[in-house]
Amino acid sequence: ILRTNLIIIKQKYIYSRQQIIINLFYLLSIIFANRPSALLNLRYYNIIMTLLRDLNSKPYRILIEFIYEFIKKFLTKNIFPVSKIIFNPSLILNLHVAFLSLIFADIAF
């Protein structure tokens, strides 16, 4: 029974990963709708993740910053922070959930 469950999970994981990647691509394209090449050239080394301490002793907040070096050649780096986590029933539309699920799956830390 365990072997069958593992096989089913592996088959579902590939499809779920593709859905997460497409969802992340859609969420990031809202920010950069007019620069699709900047979105396609995004790699893990262009992303800064910071833990922000909450002074009211709540859990740490995660600040994700995307550094786009390839938007315009004559400008410096463009940094776009995404700091707001929306706690609602539809967490699949949350950029943090989509991005962190890919990072943990790829063991990028």
Spell out the domain ranges in the chain: 2-106
pLDDT at 6: 45
Pick the more confident residue, 5 or 70: 70
Pick the more confident residue, 109 or 10: 109
pLDDT at 4: 46
C-alpha distances in angstroms, 47 versus 14, 20, 41, 84, 99? 24, 18, 12, 16, 11
Count other C-beta atoms under 10 Å from residue 38's C-beta: 19
pLDDT at 59: 75
pTM, full prediction: 0.61
pLDDT at 84: 67
